[in-house]
Chains A and B, each alone.
Chain A
Amino acid sequence: MSKETLVKSYDTLRRDVAARDRGLREKVMTLEEAATLVSDGDHVALGGCTLSRTPMAMIWALIRARKQGLTISRSITSTEGDLVFASGLGRKIISSWFSQGIVWGISKVMRHHVEKELAEFDEWSHMAIGLRFRAGAMGIPFMPVRSMIGSDVARIRGDEVKPMNCPFTGERLMALPALNPDVALIHVQRADAYGNAQLDGLQFMDIDIAMAANKVILTTERIVSNDQIRRAPDHTRIPFFTVEAVVEVPYGSVPHECYGQYEPIFAQLDRYAALTSKDPVAGAKQYLDEYVYGPKSWPDYLSMVGMETLLTASRRGRVIFND
């Protein structure tokens, strides 16, 4: 990352927000229309974490739109990171952890791209990623932290982190640069047409990401009326004025999970692992051809996953409401 883009200037941040139409307006569009809001080379943050509330349909649409050269940031990266590298959508991923998941072993696709220097995985501690987004959300250029100090995780970040002493106590701290993505992709359970988004269950870093980003592309399991939002404003986590697009995508995180809606589609994840562990290049290409470039539409992709599989995942997803 060049030094100019490590921390966005406060002038730029304020100017970008000021330039956006922040009035209450409808923003409902298709995945394809939303994809045009992302430019090649943008820094795109992904909401969710590991196999949870991954904005998979939107990533899928960006790959299909042949976007290139994105820098991706996410708390913890799973199969979506593999697809970003394998498709050429992005060449750099900023994250604390990157693999499919411990039950599938180390991602061969991640290993292939990083070890062959075809792409970069910039490693930060999990809390460091979170505090970078939080600093971005707070409109300040850095955040001090008491971790990453003394480790090689900090050492290999070079000039991207700065050891500092507290101006009040003199204690040793690590200064982390703010992260203000150009675009945030966030998948939620429900939102209204204006972009007021309500989240169930685990929030991960999504609220900070939304506030830090220059604009949010929301995908949502369903669009609800503004009246429904106003009946429970305490459940609204992302305010409409951060949002530029609202796309209704049922099962929009498949094959990952969406809290209270559906669990991960383990059959798809097992198939993906089997394909890519044999040959990370050919396996990922086959998966992309079959499931990303092949289908006519997102519902067409879901048909390939299968009705029975989706219903089972949904039944398991709703179990938490019985506890």
Chain B
Amino acid sequence: MTEQTSASIAYTASELIAIMAGRLLVDGQIVFAGVGIPLLAATLAQRNHAPRLTILFEGGVIGPFIVPGELPPSTNEQRCTRRANMVLPSTDVLLLLQRGYIDVGFMGGAQIDRFGNLNSSFIGPADKPTIRLPGTGGGNDISSLTYMIVAMKHEKRRFVEHVDFITSPGWIDGGASRAERGLPMGGMWRVVTDLAVMGFDEETREMEVLALHPGVSFEQVQDNTGFPLRRVPEITTTALPRSEELALIRELDPGRLYTA
């Protein structure tokens, strides 16, 4: 990973994504987090601006505090349960999404399209895939039942006009199609990459750039995207990662398990 230098602070793309995504979480929220950058970003928010943030893991955990340097290899090991308020069967923690207790779901993505649909199942046709990816896990449940933040690398091969396979539904075909298909709740809210923060137009549900990271131009974002991006008129620039934020991330992930 090439390190980018802005002012006097150097950071990797993964660190930038984790910091920018963590800033979107609001104190008091209940967040359903996936492993990797989402877990790191949620923990960062919890230790930073959102001390009353409650993290849920699909392994069946409510309100843990991840121990620095002891990051779990998935959301299903004992490292996910440290100082938690409750452990419960995984089916039951997922059912909390259906009941409506979760403010936001937060996960990574392999491939996304202009309406925020995610693919983590197949590259190429499902009956004859070029690559069989690991699959949905809880992704389909989370994205079907609550609002979503996705954290991923901004690359043209990942930001495509149409995903090969809708594993986790976003706004489907845009407009009101998500609700019409039978998903009245939630939807894709934010996509955070190493270049920008994106949202979705209220009417058309097309992806739109809300904010650019320091030193990034809209054209650069567009060049790394496989479909025409909208931009909001009052496009902003995100604040540089602060040294305290980077220090926290490196304390949490000293072995660069998630942020390599």
Query: Complex Cα distance A238/B97, Å?
Result: 26
Chain B residues with CB under 8 Å of A115's CB are: 129-132
Is B221 part of the binding interface, using a Cβ–Cβ cutoff of 8 Å? no
Chain A residues with CB under 8 Å of B138's CB are: 96, 125-127
Return the chain A residue nearest B65 by Cβ.
A323
In the complex, are the beta carbons of B140 and A151 less than 8 A apart?
yes
Is B68 part of the binding interface, using a Cβ–Cβ cutoff of 8 Å? no
Is A134 part of the binding interface, using a Cβ–Cβ cutoff of 8 Å? yes
Which chain B residues (46-94) contact chain A, with CB distance < 8 Å?
Answer: 58-61, 73-74, 76-83, 87-91, 94
In the complex, are the beta carbons of A151 and B95 less than 8 A apart?
no
Return the chain B residue nearest A133 by Cβ.
B91
Binary B-proximity of A122-159 (CB < 8 A = 1, otherwise 0): 01111110110110000000000111111111001000
A-B contact pairs, 7 of them (CB 8 A): A106-B133, A110-B134, A111-B132, A115-B132, A149-B144, A150-B182, A264-B77
B10 CB, min distance to chain A CBs, angstroms: 24
In the complex, are the beta carbons of B181 and A146 less than 8 A apart?
no
Is A248 part of the binding interface, using a Cβ–Cβ cutoff of 8 Å? no
Query: Complex Cα distance A95/B130, Å?
Result: 20
Chain B residues with CB under 8 Å of A156's CB are: 126
Is A60 part of the binding interface, using a Cβ–Cβ cutoff of 8 Å? no
Chain A residues with CB under 8 Å of B141's CB are: 125-128, 147-148
In the complex, are the beta carbons of A205 and B166 less than 8 A apart?
no
In the complex, are the beta carbons of A99 and B134 less than 8 A apart?
yes
B101 CB, min distance to chain A CBs, angstroms: 14
Instruction: List the interface of chain A (C-beta within 8 A of B).
Output: 49-52, 75-76, 95-99, 101-103, 106-107, 110-111, 114-115, 121, 123-128, 130-131, 133-134, 145-153, 156, 163, 172-173, 201-208, 257, 259-260, 263-264, 317, 320, 323
In the complex, are the beta carbons of A147 and B78 less than 8 A apart?
no
Is B35 part of the binding interface, using a Cβ–Cβ cutoff of 8 Å? yes
Is B172 part of the binding interface, using a Cβ–Cβ cutoff of 8 Å? yes
Taking a contact as CB atoms closer than 8 A, the residue among B36, B91, B98, B185 that contacts A102 in the complex is B36
Chain B residues with CB under 8 Å of A172's CB are: 182
Query: Complex Cα distance A169/B121, Å?
Result: 33
In the complex, are the beta carbons of A263 and B129 less than 8 A apart?
no
Chain B residues with CB under 8 Å of A131's CB are: 91
Is B193 part of the binding interface, using a Cβ–Cβ cutoff of 8 Å? no
Query: Complex Cα distance A151/B120, Å?
Result: 12
A19 CB, min distance to chain B CBs, angstroms: 28
- 8 additional contacts, CB 8 Å, given A102-B73, A114-B132? A49-B59, A76-B74, A96-B138, A147-B98, A147-B145, A151-B140, A201-B87, A204-B89
Q: How many chain B residues touch A (Cβ–Cβ < 8 Å)?
A: 54
In the complex, are the beta carbons of A202 and B61 less than 8 A apart?
yes
Query: Complex Cα distance A50/B134, Å?
Result: 12
Is B232 part of the binding interface, using a Cβ–Cβ cutoff of 8 Å? no
Query: Complex Cα distance A152/B165, Å?
Result: 6
Chain A residues with CB under 8 Å of B131's CB are: 106, 111, 115
Taking a contact as CB atoms closer than 8 A, the residue among B73, B81, B134 that contacts A201 in the complex is B81
Return the chain B residue nearest A237 by Cβ.
B89
Return the chain A residue nearest B78 by Cβ.
A259
Chain A residues with CB under 8 Å of B248's CB are: none
Query: Complex Cα distance A98/B133, Å?
Result: 8
In the complex, are the beta carbons of B172 and A153 less than 8 A apart?
no
B76 CB, min distance to chain A CBs, angstroms: 4
Query: Complex Cα distance A72/B89, Å?
Result: 20
Query: Complex Cα distance A161/B81, Å?
Result: 33
Chain A residues with CB under 8 Å of B257's CB are: 103
B42 CB, min distance to chain A CBs, angstroms: 16
Is B43 part of the binding interface, using a Cβ–Cβ cutoff of 8 Å? no
Is B167 part of the binding interface, using a Cβ–Cβ cutoff of 8 Å? yes
B35 CB, min distance to chain A CBs, angstroms: 6
Taking a contact as CB atoms closer than 8 A, the residue among A98, A127, A257 that contacts B78 in the complex is A257
In the complex, are the beta carbons of A145 and B98 less than 8 A apart?
yes
Query: Complex Cα distance A253/B185, Å?
Result: 39
Is B137 part of the binding interface, using a Cβ–Cβ cutoff of 8 Å? yes
In the complex, are the beta carbons of B82 and A76 less than 8 A apart?
no
With contacts A103-B73, A107-B134, A204-B59 taken as known, whether A150 is within 8 angstroms of B178 at the C-beta atoms is: yes
Chain A residues with CB under 8 Å of B58's CB are: 126
For B134, B166, B183, which residue has the most chain A Cβ atoms within 10 angstroms?
B134
Chain A residues with CB under 8 Å of B88's CB are: 203
